[in-house]
Amino acid sequence: MMVKITWRRVVFALCAVAALGMAVAWLGLVPIAASSGHWRITTWFLHWTMQNSARTYSAINTPEKVRDDDGLISAAGHFRQACQVCHGAPGVPPSPVMHAATPHAPDLAGTAAEYTDRELFWIVRHGIKYTGMPAWPETGRDDEVRRMVSFVRQLPTMSPQQYRALTQATEPGPFARCTGCHGADGLGRGQQDVPVIAGQKRDYLLHALRLHAARKSFSAIMQTAVSGMSDPQLQAAADHFAAMPGLKDAPPVAPHPIVQNGLPGDQLPACRNCHTPGRPGPLLEGQRAGYLAERLRAWRGDETVVDVRKPQDPMAVIARRIPEDEIDAIATSLAQGGSALVKAP
Ligand code: HEC
Ligand code: HEC
Ligand code: HEC
């Protein structure tokens, strides 16, 4: 006998299926135990769905530039502090607890090649729902994500020795959690994105560390690096790095006219007014040019600080008054003395 399909019957059947689904969920019959893993077909289906989604969304929702090969040290250091626990790293197995998750994190040395740079960027930036794969904690730090994409790209060919050299995981000392990126000398291991902290003003270092610890900064990398540190520990770190030879010893250099005099016609004050010993701003001379320029550009794009009356945050206003084509010149001129620091004792 043929059953005649009518709208009423279709709606009734759909309602019955929905009710059955609700009943199964309500009775607690959906197996959620991580210990039993997924069926093979479920694993395949979920992974296939994830890969398709990464492909589609990465095609429509990623910036022009998705990879930056110049900052492997900070990315490696961050991988060690934030990703290794789940994914493992060259020569380092994942934590047994994380490996007992369903799904557990794949060894990226084996899977990275399955994804394009754009897809890796999208995954690292946005994370993957229902899997434990977290999103990048700071929005607006695509530069940090780009460096991580490059690092993940290197994993398939990276030896344990290379990974240890990048992260300096074997370097002992009370500030071992800092020196992997900043170097035991606090000079930033020659990286353009890692600032020199040696010889910086102590109060400024502490101010910056407290902002990172309170998650009021804009760096996922530094927020993670100081998470769990107590205020006395932050103070000890500030004391330690401020006392080292570094920025305070940077030799005087021929300053850029804006650093020296500002642009009085455009109400741009001289940088020297604040960025010298005894004034409120951090020391800039001898700092990395790439870092300085990046900070100035970040302030220019920071739409959350537009109120000129906020005296506690003068830099957003000042950075916007610097002509765009002068930023690199100012940064380079400030950084001139930095090379002399490397030879410091
Ligand atoms: C809490 C555990 C966890 C942490 C921490 C974690 N991941 Fe993942 N990650 C996962 C899981 C689980 C998957 C697999 C998702 C899947 O297969 O659907 C994944 C997938 C990925 C993928 C896609 C590759 C693939 O084969 O699926 C990349 C790339 C990745 N993670 C990078 C990172 C980076 C970089 C970090 C650190 C910033 C990180 N992950 C931190 C759990 C984690
Ligand atoms: C994984 C790499 C990494 C680790 C580990 C790390 N840092 Fe950093 N640090 C950075 C990067 C990158 C920046 C620049 C952040 C930005 O772009 O805003 C930075 C910025 C800073 C600043 C701000 C400097 C300034 O001029 O504004 C201070 C202070 C600092 N780090 C101190 C520390 C201390 C102390 C530790 C150890 C507890 C530490 N860092 C661990 C990479 C790291
Ligand atoms: C009114 C005082 C003042 C003037 C003038 C000033 N700054 Fe600043 N600047 C500050 C303060 C205060 C900070 C620290 C802000 C913070 O990180 O919260 C800072 C931070 C910075 C930083 C970040 C440094 C680091 O280590 O993270 C850069 C780069 C910078 N200033 C560049 C400049 C330049 C270039 C000029 C001149 C065009 C300038 N500043 C003029 C007060 C000033």
**CATH number, domain with residue 229:** 1.10.760.10
- Look at residue 54 and tell me if it is in a domain: no
Q: What is the DSSP letter of 306?
A: -
Whether 109 and 160 share a structural domain? yes
Whether 83 and 161 share a structural domain? yes
Q: Single out the residue in 110, 134, 167 at which a domain terminates.
A: 167
- Look at residue 51 and tell me if it is in a domain: no
- Look at residue 58 and tell me if it is in a domain: no
Q: Is the CB of 293 under 6 A from ligand 3?
A: no
Query: Is 158 in contact with 75 (CB distance < 8 Å)?
Result: no
Whether 146 and 190 share a structural domain? no
* Orientation of helix 40-60 relative to helix 117-126, angle to 10°: 100
Query: Is 164 in contact with 92 (CB distance < 8 Å)?
Result: no
- Look at residue 50 and tell me if it is in a domain: no
Choice from 87, 126, 145 to test ligand 1 binding pocket (greatest atom count within 8 A of CB)? 87
Whether 150 and 193 share a structural domain? no
- pLDDT given for residue 312 in this prediction: 58
Residues of the chain with pLDDT under 50: 344-345
- Look at residue 162 and tell me if it is in a domain: yes
- pLDDT given for residue 171 in this prediction: 75
Q: Is the CB of 86 under 6 A from ligand 1?
A: yes
**Distance from Cα 219 to the centre of ligand 2, integer Å:** 9
* Residue 188 to residue 167: CA distance in whole angstroms: 12
- pLDDT given for residue 342 in this prediction: 76
Q: Is the CB of 111 under 6 A from ligand 1?
A: yes
Residue nearest (by alpha carbon) to ligand 2 atom 14: 194
- Look at residue 26 and tell me if it is in a domain: no
Whether 276 and 189 share a structural domain? no
Q: Single out the residue in 210, 244, 278 at which a domain terminates.
A: 244
Whether 162 and 223 share a structural domain? no
Q: Is the CB of 282 under 6 A from ligand 2?
A: yes
Q: Where are the alpha helices (DSSP H) in the chain?
A: 7-26, 40-60, 72-78, 84-87, 96-99, 108-111, 117-126, 142-154, 160-167, 176-182, 202-213, 220-226, 231-242, 257-261, 289-301, 314-321, 327-335, 338-341
- pLDDT given for residue 309 in this prediction: 53
Whether 240 and 253 share a structural domain? no
Whether 236 and 202 share a structural domain? yes
* Residue 136 to residue 222: CA distance in whole angstroms: 13
Range(s) of the domain holding residue 274: 249-341
**Distance from Cα 7 to the centre of ligand 2, integer Å:** 64
- Look at residue 212 and tell me if it is in a domain: yes
Whether 202 and 226 share a structural domain? yes
- pLDDT given for residue 71 in this prediction: 87
Q: Single out the residue in 149, 167, 185 at which a domain terminates.
A: 167
Q: Is the CB of 110 under 6 A from ligand 1?
A: no
- Number of domains making up the chain: 3
Residue nearest (by alpha carbon) to ligand 1 atom 8: 133
- pLDDT given for residue 169 in this prediction: 76
Whether 185 and 240 share a structural domain? yes
- pLDDT given for residue 26 in this prediction: 95
Residue nearest (by alpha carbon) to ligand 1 atom 7: 133
Choice from 108, 133, 142, 149 to test ligand 1 binding pocket (greatest atom count within 8 A of CB)? 133
Ligand 3 atom closest to Cα of residue 321: 38
**Distance from Cα 132 to the centre of ligand 1, integer Å:** 8
- Look at residue 38 and tell me if it is in a domain: no
Whether 140 and 96 share a structural domain? yes
Whether 326 and 257 share a structural domain? yes
- pLDDT given for residue 299 in this prediction: 87
